[in-house]
Amino acid sequence: MKILLIEDEKILRISLNKTLQKAGYAVCPCSDGAKAISILDQENFDIVLTDIRLPGKDGIQILKYIQHHIPKIKVIMMTAFGSVESAVDALKLGATDYLTKPFSQEELLHKLASIRDFQSIEKENVELKNKLSLSTKIIGNSPSFLNLIEKIKLTAPTNHAILIEGESGTGKELIIDLIHQLSDRSDQALVKVNCAALSESLFESELFGHEKGAFTGALKQNIGRFERADGGTLFMDDIDDLPLPLQVKLLRVIQENEIERVGGEKTIPIDIRIIAATKVNLQKKMEKGEFRDDLFYRLNVVHMAVPALRNRPDDIPLLVAHFIEKHGAGHHITPAVMNVLQDFRWPGNVRELENAIIQMIALAQGDTLVASLLPRTLQQRKDFLNPSSGESLNQALSYSEKAMIESALEKCRWRQVDTAKMLNIPRTTLRSKMKKYGLVDKQV
């Protein structure tokens, strides 16, 4: 804690300086108001301890200056005996506290200690708030992402079931949190279930709950997740992993809005909104008979597709800036590294990008995130971009050509007619280039 001490009476200034230093504070003593303001412009302080009557500028003027320019500094005014009025004025103007002369050492140190405690709580709160808001912030500005956000805003306040489809790491969980926050159920629970992690036997007691003695090992009653989500939202992650017999049970709950605990006789009404997420195309699973169509239509009232990161490279600079702020504010990235990040295909999507940034920050010697810090999977790309890497210009061009064709094929779901149109080349040319680059037709 650093204190600027402004007192024109020499003896008092020296004795206060001593007291404060002994108590462990860093002190900058000063005898003149105008000088104090120029010091405030150059150095950082946590607390200003100032007399009211001073040469140069008086204590009230200093207080006003601080309130206007550096409001985070706490100000304690020292007033002469009998001038309580000016102390009250100072408090009205925003001073944190005041001391009437003569005051004891203890009184001063006690006031400083309570300011110190308050400031550290304040700081913790700000840090916590920043962390919270950073971890729930959804970043993206590309058209496909903005469309999705628009859909979220429109449908979150309804009670419709939502099916979210997106590859791993695209931000599905973040989206579910946002939907719940924007819904009328935001003051109720958001309960999450990972269908991939539950065995068939666990599923029933976890979701429906059980009565004491319902089965061997059921030593006490257990309230299931359906009941815990009552009034709120139930998020079922990896819904495609739900075995067929359990799909039937889930369907019944959705249709009848009631459950029975395992081993229980009572029927318990529940009011839940279901949001399900899947990494695979659930419609295809349904067509193959691996997912019940009646359940699919119940879950898929609103469909949201979260775009893969490689299909929205324009969002990468925004995400990079966001992750740097979240994990290592003050770092920055070179343009060459940004190019590499934007060109990469990111099979693990935003999660993989975030991890890459975390890793680079951890390894960085200074503030700059340079190419050599890139994860190994991206290094190859960097070598390739380096003119002294031995790559010929032709090799570089075919690399880019392949990447662009592949990305166009993805965007057009591997439909060659659309892809050729998008790239503005004849279909025969597209076909021969696909053959040259080993791009196998993935259209089903």
Ligand X SMILES: Nc1ncnc2c1ncn2[C@@H]1O[C@H](COP(=O)(O)OP(=O)(O)OP(=O)(O)O)[C@@H](O)[C@H]1O
Query: With CB under 6 A as the contact rule, which of the stretches 75-83, 168-176, 212-220, 248-256 interacts with ligand X?
Result: 168-176
Instruction: Tell me which of 33, 59, 171, 224 binds ligand X, using CB under 6 A.
Output: 171
CB of 197 to ligand X, least distance (A): 11
**Of ligand X, Mg ion, none, which one sits near residue 138, judging by CB under 5 to 8 A according to partner kind?**
ligand X
Q: How far is the CB of 198 from ligand X (least distance, A)?
A: 15
* End-to-end CA gap in the chain: 67
Nearer to ligand X, 165 or 206 (CB): 165
Q: Determine, following the binding rule CB under 6 A, whether residue 139 of this chain makes contact with ligand X.
A: yes
Select the residue interacting with ligand X from 44, 147, 158, 168 (CB under 6 A). 168
3-class secondary structure, 244: helix
Q: Choose between 195 and 423: whose C-beta lies nearer to ligand X.
A: 195
What the block records as the tokens of 250 is: 């889930």
CA distance 153 to 162: 13
In sequence order, what DSSP letters do the residues of 120-169 get, joined into one string? HHHHHHHHHHHHHHHHH-----SHHHHHHHHHHHHHTTS---EEEE--TT
Residue pair 245/232 in contact by the 8 Å Cβ criterion? no
DSSP string, 52-116: SS-SSS-HHHHHHHHHHH-TTSEEEEEE-TT-HHHHHHHHHTT-SEEEESS--HHHHHHHHHHHH
Compare residues 173 and 227 and give the one whose CB is closer to Mg ion: 173
Interface segment toward Mg ion; rule CB under 5 A; list 173-181, 300-308, 368-376, 420-428? 173-181
- Span near Mg ion by CB under 5 A; candidates 136-144, 171-179, 335-343, 361-369: 171-179
Compute and round to an integer the Cα radius of gyration of the chain. 32
CB of 92 to Mg ion, least distance (A): 52
Site for ligand X contains 13 (CB under 6 A):
no
Stretch that binds Mg ion, among 155-163, 170-178, 217-225, 308-316 (CB under 5 A): 170-178
Block residue for tokens 């805003």: 153
Quick one: tokens of 396? 């570089």
The span from the CA of 344 to the CA of 348, in Å, is: 11
Given the complex with ligand X, which of 39 and 149 has the nearer CB atom? 149
What would the DSSP string read from start to end of 164-181?
A: EE--TTSSHHHHHHHHHH
Closer Cβ to ligand X, 45 or 323, answer by number: 323
**Binding mask of the shown chain, residues 263 to 292, with x at each position contacting ligand X by CB under 6 A:** ----------------x-------------
Give the x/- contact pattern for ligand X in 342-381, rule: CB under 6 A: --------xx--x---------------------------
Nearer to ligand X by Cβ, of 168 and 257: the residue is 168
Of the pair 277, 286, the CB lying nearest ligand X is at 277
CA distance 278 to 410: 19
Tell me the C-alpha distance between 155 and 176, whole Å: 12
Contact region with Mg ion (CB under 5 A), list: 52-60, 158-166, 167-175, 432-440: 167-175
Q: Is 140 in the site for ligand X (CB under 6 A)?
A: yes
CB nearer to ligand X: pick between 134 and 385 = 134
User: Roughly what angle, to the nearest 10 degrees, separates helices 393-411 and 376-385?
Assistant: 130
Stretch that binds Mg ion, among 11-19, 102-110, 118-126, 166-174 (CB under 5 A): 166-174
Shortest Å distance, C-beta 365 to ligand X: 26
**Residue among 142 and 221 whose Cβ is closer to ligand X:** 142
Extract the tokens encoding 31: 């005898």
Supply the DSSP symbol for 262. Answer: B
**Which two three-digit tokens encode residue 441?**
């037709």
Nearest to 95 by CA among 63, 51, 54, 59: 63
Closer to Mg ion by CB, 32 or 173: give it: 173
307 binds ligand X (CB under 6 A): no
Spatial distance between the Cα atoms of 213 and 263, rounded to a whole number of angstroms: 8
Out of Mg ion, ligand X, none, which partner does residue 307 contact, by CB within 5 to 8 A per kind? Answer: none
186 CB-near residues (< 8 Å, 6+ apart)? 180
Report the residue closest to ligand X, judged by CB: 171
* 215: its two tokens: 């089965």
Total chain residues near Mg ion (CB under 5 A):
1
- Return the residue of 8, 32, 58, 173 that touches Mg ion, per CB under 5 A: 173
- Closest by CA to 25, choosing from 123, 127, 105, is 105
Please give the residue ranges that form the binding site for ligand X (CB under 6 A): 137-140, 166, 168-174, 279, 322, 350-351, 354
